[in-house]
Structure 1
């Protein structure tokens, strides 16, 4: 094969003979001087698909030709360094706080839309078990399509990971169904007020399940939360025991889901993690829906809904509520991956403030003065708890660093 010389003939003429010579101590071999293919502007010569290092050319080149070889090399190095730096530092790495803020905003926005649309469906189709299946079913279809196009690439699943995900999915399914039962039974604002007790259940699980010591100050900060929820419950106009107990069960289920999710997230990215959780949870939710609501749906449930709003609106409402449900949970999982669990818990509380406010405005729910005061006390108590816990965690990190 003929060698191709892609630089000046004068530079090539100055290259020493390439015949193999006896190896001497300290000598640089010709093979070690080769590196992968580059461009002529980098200051080297391409010979047989390889590039000679400029050092070899400089050793045998006259001083007049060295400048000609060095100039393009330095220029290319400078340009390459700038472009490499720009490639390495992208928008996400440069502005992590903005990206995290965007995740929180989309999480809140999608959650508010979901809650509003979900409650509107229950006003003419009060079947929370079936609607829960639709939520998960639309999400699973979304995940399968995403995997099919490679956005994201499906993570492999083995038996060990499946054992980690099954408890998460079961807790997710129970919490999801009981939340929807509560949403269908009482006002959205009241359900979210009860679910503000989630930090209390998290602290209880940490103390009595995980064996972590919870300081007395944190327990005391939870008293306003319990008091506020109790005040709101006593005077809530839409109160009933089904909605209250269902929301409490949901709190317990989601507490355990958070504990198991953080463990499972170590071996899989959050998008694939939630996709597998949704698939497993769907299979968990289908049997109760068929047993509890199946006969009623076939008898008059579907017919009544279609008669009220029409087939097209009924189907499109179910599709959109399922899509918004999956997307807001996906964003919540992605946000959990980006921040500490405590920050995520605080964000979850603020999300409830948004949902409660929007639901009161949209649905015109009438609340008593005591209910409003109780809700405010509960939210304030959660904020105090979150602040104290953050301070304790920061003190621990500083102590370890010291």
Structure 2
């Protein structure tokens, strides 16, 4: 909603990173997360690249949201499993079962149909959203390496990576949106766009707080549910976001466009189902553990807390 009125994608990106860094501190206390330390070389060689990719990926995601409707951006984000499979295959040489590759077909078909029938199609928005999704798949692989090396909790990694990403992004923001906002506040607008005001600041803080609540609720659920059951809730959430965005923003759509969107989203569930069968995990509920608030991180935690963007 912020980008629909205020055309400052890098400002929204920086605000999101800062909010994540701030709100994860009380979140870590609520979840009783143990503090983790890493060596300086590991910080520079591993965590810093993750933060850099995170900053670029998030900026690309918000730029895509600025250019294309929310419903279409959510559809493009459904391609994450495709890039994840490719990244795992190329970087970690992980083979996949035929069922996993076949499960990607609905995603490909859905995104193609949605793209060809999108009435508000924008090539820059599509490429930016795809690039963001590609980077997130690469981040997933690096995150798994961090968990294997350090046993760091995902909330700790979210906090550290957000802090570093904000520092990395700040110089670019200062030279772009920072200069633009300063000129508009001092000299006034020349383009007729909506100037930054208190409502803009309110939207930035509201978005950060809602993101914090989402992370809190999702992390509480992820330790009670298996990957499959979380995939069901995640698919439902994505469908709800698409429907709500269509209702609120009233973006023009066609029946084929809606079909492509939902085919891509359902494809994500099919992919998660195929991966669940491959791993042979329990289907719906995890075993209860009195210390479940301090359990070790899972791949689902990583995807949830570190690859969730706009």
Band of TM-score, shorter chain: 0.7 to 0.9
Alpha-carbon distance in 1 for matches of 2:157, 2:114: 36
> Structure 1 residues 330, 242: CA separation in 2 closer, same or farther (over 3 Å shift)?
farther
Cα distance, 1:196 vs structure 2: 0.6
Give 1:197's match in structure 2, choosing from 79, 86, 90.
Answer: 79
- The answer to whether residue 132 in structure 2 is matched with residue 250 in structure 1 is yes
- Answer whether contact 1:125 1:301 (CA < 8 A) is retained: no
Q: Which of the pair has the greater relative contact order for Cα pairs under 8 Å at 6+ separation?
A: 2
- The answer to whether residue 263 in structure 2 is matched with residue 377 in structure 1 is yes
Alpha-carbon distance in 1 for matches of 2:216, 2:139: 14
Cα distance, 1:378 vs structure 2: 1.5
The 5-angstrom pairing of residues 97-246 of structure 1 reads 119=1, 121-143=2-24, 155-159=35-39, 162=43, 163-246=45-128
Alpha-carbon distance in 2 for matches of 1:195, 1:374: 13
> Structure 1 residues 292, 136: CA separation in 2 closer, same or farther (over 3 Å shift)?
same
> Structure 1 residues 139, 225: CA separation in 2 closer, same or farther (over 3 Å shift)?
closer
Secondary structure of 1:293's aligned partner: helix
Q: What TM-score results when the alignment is normalised by the length of structure 2?
A: 0.77
- The answer to whether residue 152 in structure 2 is matched with residue 271 in structure 1 is no
- Answer whether contact 1:274 1:333 (CA < 8 A) is retained: no
The 5-angstrom pairing of residues 27-106 of structure 1 reads none
Alpha-carbon distance in 2 for matches of 1:338, 1:260: 25
Secondary structure of 1:366's aligned partner: coil
RMSD, aligned CA: 3.2
- Answer whether contact 2:24 2:212 (CA < 8 A) is retained: no
Secondary structure of 1:126's aligned partner: coil
> Structure 1 residues 249, 288: CA separation in 2 closer, same or farther (over 3 Å shift)?
same
Alpha-carbon distance in 2 for matches of 1:348, 1:248: 20
1:352 corresponding residue in structure 2: 238
Secondary structure of 1:365's aligned partner: coil
- The answer to whether residue 180 in structure 2 is matched with residue 296 in structure 1 is yes
- Answer whether contact 1:271 1:330 (CA < 8 A) is retained: no
Q: Residues 46-75 of structure 1, C-alpha deviation per residue, up to 9 Å, x if partnerless? A: xxxxxxxxxxxxxxxxxxxxxxxxxxxxxx
Alpha-carbon distance in 2 for matches of 1:174, 1:125: 20
1:316 corresponding residue in structure 2: 202
Q: Which has the larger radius of gyration?
A: 1
Cα distance, 1:346 vs structure 2: 5.6
Secondary structure of 2:241's aligned partner: helix
Count of residues paired in the alignment: 276
